[in-house]
Structure 1
């Protein structure tokens, strides 16, 4: 009957009409273009953490909103990105090959840096005749106060300068790092010389000249070390070091002592200047200044850098905590040196292994982030790694201290209390470097500066013998910094 609804056989008047089944599209129908796009970009979409990442990829491929509306039937790239994000399941594929580890470093390179840190101390052996004179009002050898004052200023300034140069290097702008060293290193040398001159007291002219030379060396050596020229610096110091060893075996005329000291200083300063010379001079021009022929440096060839694509330069104030950390730790090391030369030598030599163990801790912590699934497990892994690395450093410092004391029989040895204070100072220095590497430099600088101030006040007021004062101060500072490190261990963001 025309206009009637078809009813199945046996259906009564009260039976609802049958609902037609949905028609299935024939196999020859065109596939959904959004599905096709999702299949083509499957790996990228699956690893995206937000639809905006997909939208950025679509726009980078040159898809306009008009093309997206025509091809995929959605409003714009953001709507298409959300649709793709919903259709693909989240997954994070593991990268091919071994995971990148920026903290891997060579043990030999770190040991070389430790030797380079210690070699300048032999300059005092060669320069001893030029520092001769009566003891000052504090009972210290002639020239000690201006030398220490200039050294402290140099350590403070150059620590901040090195941080600023490293900040430029981290942005990929090596020319900017070299410019900062070219401008900052002479200022540091001048400041160190002026402070030594102010603290001259009863020191001789030779002591002031030696202090000025020391400031120039610290500035030039900082530039070379920041730019990775440890071997160059070692070569420049080798004649001076050989002469100092020779003076321990047989007497050397003062003229030869002066030639060796000035020769090594001139070599370090000239090499430092060549390293930070402006790009516009070029390798040939830098060599022509001294009549040398220098090979081109491949790492300085690019005329562009990533940092020039940004508008933000490293803040000057950001380097201040690093300078204060250098001041505080420098004062603590100087007090340890006054308690015995072997302790200072052992501390200086231990900085190479300390640097390598610090890199090892950061590397193992990064591996722990990948291998653990809970914050508690990661904290436990990081704590075990910290104990292993710190114990290895203290064992190295102990061996170096005993070895230097045995090889230096006429120097004041390190007693039991002094040895305990030295190990506690090692804890302070290593944990301070660790806090500095994870961005908590303000805490490390505050602890070291307060410890240095407390020890200075205690010694100025004769509150106790230097070994016991140092033991108390170092122990307190080590405990506070260990607590700061423990509080940071479980934070994944601190191990970036």
Structure 2
């Protein structure tokens, strides 16, 4: 019957559940905030290989875990990154223009730096007759200890100084970088000369003077290298190098040796002083800064990099320098030549690895595929560096007069040391310089103790120490490279 409700047998209207009231459909629904965030970060999330990349971006945007819990309903940035990673389809959009790759550098420039690192060694060839005298402790030639102590201090100080200057350059403050070099380089030279004098005393005045000149050169060369003046530095070293090559096959007067050494040093120091001389813009900027009220001046100076940030780089210079010196002293002095020259190919291969890592981030879709690609690149770069070091060692032992070829143990130790240096530089380029510095310094201490206690022969000690340090640093590199975020 029209208007009545049909009931099943035995049922009444009181036994049926009430019909729910229809709620009016709202004209709009509040969107999911995670979907909104996914739309905003769509391109980055779609190209991410691992959720950790997204978490790093969220943290860099200043999102705290409390803000994430309140707005998005998940416990932290990693959970939010997982949600975004799942909601956005993997794709790798092609950039509109050329791909930005900050790690693209030319091979010639890197090789030039390697040559510049090696040429100062000819200064010791010219200065050797001037250092003649009674042998020192451990049977070393006269003047060796003050020279080595001054060199170690110089390497340590100038590595830290270079990092501080590069930090200022990274902040876009070139006058501050110049000022740090102008004040830091002379202090390092004084410190190196003072340590050499403390080691030698008055027994070797010529060696102390040579060490003081060495310290001045290290500081001035650091200035020129940081400011990108490799070609100018090379030009000042070429005359001394040419005469040193001649002096290796026929004698030359001591007066000519001394003139070339002092002339080259004076030229390098003069170029460095001209490079760090404050220009008018720098003086104008400082004058404007002095005219500002105190609050504005304090805000300007808060951007200064911390001094302690340069300490790990200084320690890495100390540890790696000590290992190179031990390689030269325990084997053959010519071993330092291929190691120094190999720093040019090493630098280029480091840039090549970083560039190929960025390519892997663009072309791989899973963390496993990225790790496989990066592992292959690491193996190729390390193999290429060891091949270059082997070739340079063969050339050095062949061309250097009266130099015997290295035996199997010495050659293996040299290649392991090269592996330590290259992986240490790789860790440094990824910001893990403290790990590299700790490994190198520990290896230098272990080698010192083993040599002092005569635990084994120098060649075998070097093989054990360098092999252990290389294994540790390769493990550190693998642990670091397993994180995709390290390559962004």
* Counterpart-to-counterpart distance in 1, 2:195 and 2:370: 48
Match of residue 292 from structure 1: none
* Counterpart-to-counterpart distance in 1, 2:97 and 2:269: 44
Does residue 243 in structure 1 map to residue 235 in structure 2? no
Match of residue 486 from structure 1: 478
Does residue 314 in structure 1 map to residue 305 in structure 2? yes
- Contact 1:342–1:412 (CA<8 Å) still a contact in 2? no
Match of residue 150 from structure 2: 150
Does residue 425 in structure 1 map to residue 417 in structure 2? yes
Match of residue 174 from structure 2: 174
Give the structure, 1 or 2, with the largest relative contact order (CA under 8 Å, sep 6 or more): 2
Match of residue 227 from structure 1: 227
Match of residue 257 from structure 2: 257
* Counterpart-to-counterpart distance in 2, 1:48 and 1:463: 56
Deviation of the 1:405 alpha carbon: 0.4
Match of residue 332 from structure 1: 323
Deviation of the 1:93 alpha carbon: 5.2
TM-score when normalising by structure 1: 0.77
* Counterpart-to-counterpart distance in 2, 1:311 and 1:235: 39
Match of residue 165 from structure 2: 165
- Contact 1:134–1:142 (CA<8 Å) still a contact in 2? yes
Does residue 468 in structure 1 map to residue 460 in structure 2? yes
Deviation of the 1:204 alpha carbon: 2.3
SS at 1:135 equivalent: coil
Which of 324, 330, 344 is residue 336 of structure 2 equivalent to? Answer: 344
SS at 2:319 equivalent: helix
Where in structure 2 are the equivalents of 1:300-449 lying within 5 Å? 311-338=302-329, 339-449=331-441
- Contact 1:424–1:475 (CA<8 Å) still a contact in 2? yes
Q: Which has the larger radius of gyration?
A: 1
* Counterpart-to-counterpart distance in 2, 1:121 and 1:216: 15
Aligned length, in residue pairs: 415
TM-score when normalising by structure 2: 0.78
Which of 453, 462, 473 is residue 445 of structure 2 equivalent to? Answer: 453
Deviation of the 1:312 alpha carbon: 2.6
- Contact 1:163–1:319 (CA<8 Å) still a contact in 2? yes
Deviation of the 1:95 alpha carbon: 2.3
- Contact 1:342–1:413 (CA<8 Å) still a contact in 2? no
Match of residue 469 from structure 2: 477
Deviation of the 1:44 alpha carbon: 7.7
- Contact 1:322–1:445 (CA<8 Å) still a contact in 2? yes
Pair 1:474–1:163, CA change in 2 (3 A): same
Deviation of the 1:413 alpha carbon: 3.4
Deviation of the 1:249 alpha carbon: 3.5
Match of residue 217 from structure 2: 217
* Counterpart-to-counterpart distance in 1, 2:485 and 2:211: 43
| Structure 2 unaligned residues grouped into runs of 5+ | 6-38, 46-53, 58-87, 290-298
Deviation of the 1:409 alpha carbon: 3.8
143-152 vs 485-494, which moves further: 485-494
* Counterpart-to-counterpart distance in 1, 2:106 and 2:161: 25
Structure 1 residues 208-244: Cα deviation after superposition (integer angstroms, max 9, x where no partner): 1100000000000001001111001001111111111
SS at 2:141 equivalent: coil
- Contact 2:123–2:241 (CA<8 Å) still a contact in 1? yes
* Counterpart-to-counterpart distance in 1, 2:343 and 2:156: 17
Deviation of the 1:459 alpha carbon: 0.4
